Amino acid sequence: MRRPQLQARETQRTTNSFQAITLSIVIPAYNEEQRIGPALRQIIDYLKGRKSTAEIIVVDDGSTDRTASLARSILTDWPLSRVISFEKNQGKGAAVKIGVLQARGELILLTDADLSTPIEELEKFWPLAGDYEVVIGSRALPASDLRIRQSRLRENMGKFFNLLVRWLVLPDFKDTQCGFKLFKRQAAQEIFSRLKTTGFAFDVEALLLARKLGYKIAEIPVVWTNSADSRVKLISSSVKMLLELIRIRKIRNKLTD
């Protein structure tokens, strides 16, 4: 019988009480001057309503607009926060990796800067964090609530990508690419310290590593309101994601040899 090569270290004590949780919210942002302001305000409003200690980390990935300065000025309202700025664009995966590795929360939430999945959806996630080290939002389950859908073309390309993911890397997820994912601290550190994928396919490698490390993963339906604005370029981003997927398959083969 094959044994996974990776061994997860002891996972942390779990808790079901939001009060006791320290949460880190990591937001990758590339040229988000339009969307980062409203998103941060919504997140701060949400956090103000709870008694948790939460930090917000924006990773500005070489934006050429006012993303970083806007984020910094709004976050003066939330002392436990940071904006990490890269000089040059390195990709969503690279940005998320740095954000996660700097996060101090017991739970770490990844969310997109457009809050296509509203921050309130976190309510569905944290109760599961007792039993699962990784909880991922999904747009492809029967109960997923797609209020504004992506264009037909984008949605079909996403479905095709997920088909390839199932075929080439991970057979058991319906939607690896939703930008709303919760990790327990220890799992996040173990996974993201190993992550090599710097672009949009990083989620696939992160989930592969989570599996290989023996973590339990839950895929749950979420609300999704598509934001028409997008950093994803139909052709070039798709080609890059396909190349990344092929590299991730090679990583998978090495891990199971």
Residue 71 or 213: which CB sits closer to ligand GDP?
A: 71
Residue 91 or 132: which CB sits closer to ligand GDP?
A: 91
Provide, for the chain, the percentages of residues in helix, strand and coil under a 3-state DSSP scheme, each rounded to the nearest 5: 40, 20, 40
Site string for Mg ion, 119-158 (x = CB under 5 A): ----------------------------------------
Alpha helices in 1-52 (DSSP H): 36-48
Asked if 114 is part of the footprint of Mg ion (rule: CB under 5 A), the reply reads: yes
Out of 54, 68, 91, 161, the residue judged to bind ligand GDP by CB under 6 A? 91
Q: Is residue 204 exposed (0-12), middle (13-18) or buried (19+ Cβ within 10 Å)?
A: buried
With contact defined as beta carbons under 8 Å apart, do 24 and 109 qualify?
yes
Site string for ligand GDP, 109-148 (x = CB under 6 A): ---xxx-x--------------------------------
Ranked by CB distance to Mg ion, the top (closest) residue is: 114
- 20 vs 248: CA distance, rounded Å: 36
Out of 7, 230, 253, 256, the residue judged to bind ligand GDP by CB under 6 A? 230
- Alpha carbon of 237 to those of 47, 70, 221, 227: distances in Å? 33, 27, 25, 17
Instruction: Take residue 222 and report the two structure tokens written for it.
Output: 């979420």
Site string for Mg ion, 212-241 (x = CB under 5 A): ---------------x--------------
- 206 vs 18: CA distance, rounded Å: 25
Asked if 175 is part of the footprint of ligand GDP (rule: CB under 6 A), the reply reads: no
In sequence order, the 6+-apart residues with CB closer than 8 A to the CB of 144 are: 138, 175, 221, 222, 224
Asked if 244 is part of the footprint of ligand GDP (rule: CB under 6 A), the reply reads: no
Asked if 205 is part of the footprint of Mg ion (rule: CB under 5 A), the reply reads: no
Residue 1 or 235: which CB sits closer to ligand GDP?
A: 235
Asked if 5 is part of the footprint of ligand GDP (rule: CB under 6 A), the reply reads: no
Asked if 185 is part of the footprint of ligand GDP (rule: CB under 6 A), the reply reads: no
The conformation of residue 13, written as its DSSP 8-state character, comes to P
With contacts defined by CB under 5 A, name the span among 45-53, 56-64, 113-121, 185-193 that binds Mg ion. Answer: 113-121
With contacts defined by CB under 6 A, name the span among 202-210, 225-233, 238-246, 247-255 that binds ligand GDP. Answer: 225-233
- Residue 92 binds: one of Mg ion, ligand GDP, none (C-beta under 5 to 8 A by kind): ligand GDP
Q: Give the footprint of ligand GDP on this chain (CB under 6 A).
A: 28-30, 32, 59, 61, 89, 91-92, 95, 112-114, 116, 179, 227, 230-232
